[in-house]
Amino acid sequence: MATFSRIKVALTMKETGMVPLFYHPDIELGKEVLMACYDGGARLMEFTARGDFAFEVFLELNKYAVKELPGMIMGVGSITDAAAASLFMQMGANFIVTPSLREDIAIVCNRRKVLWSPGCGSLTEINRAEELGCEIIKLFPGSTYGPEFVKAIKGPQPWTSVMPTGGVSTDEANLKGWFDAGVTCVGMGSQLISNEVLTNKNFEGLTKSVRDTLALIKSLRK
HEC string of 15-71 equals HHCEEEEECCCCHHHHHHHHHHHHHCCCCEEEEECCCCCHHHHHHHHHHHHHHHCCC
**pLDDT the model gives residue 99:** 96
Checking if the pLDDT of 222 tops 90, the result is no
Q: Under CATH, which number does the domain 6-221 receive?
A: 3.20.20.70
C-alpha pair distances (Å), 3 with each of 92, 95, 180: 7, 10, 32
Average pLDDT over residues 175-202: 97
Name the residue ranges covered by the structural domains of the chain.
6-221
**pLDDT the model gives residue 72:** 98
Mean of the per-residue pLDDT values for the chain? 97
Checking if the pLDDT of 212 tops 90, the result is yes
Question: Which pTM value belongs to this model?
Answer: 0.97
Nearest C-alpha neighbor of 95 from the set 25, 12, 2: 2
Average pLDDT over residues 63-85: 98
Q: Rounded to whole angstroms, how far apart are CA atoms 187 and 163?
A: 6
The tens digit of pLDDT for each residue in 123-173 reads 999 999 999 999 999 999 999 999 999 999 999 999 999 999 999 999 999
**pLDDT the model gives residue 24:** 96
**pLDDT the model gives residue 109:** 98
More confident residue, 51 or 139: 139
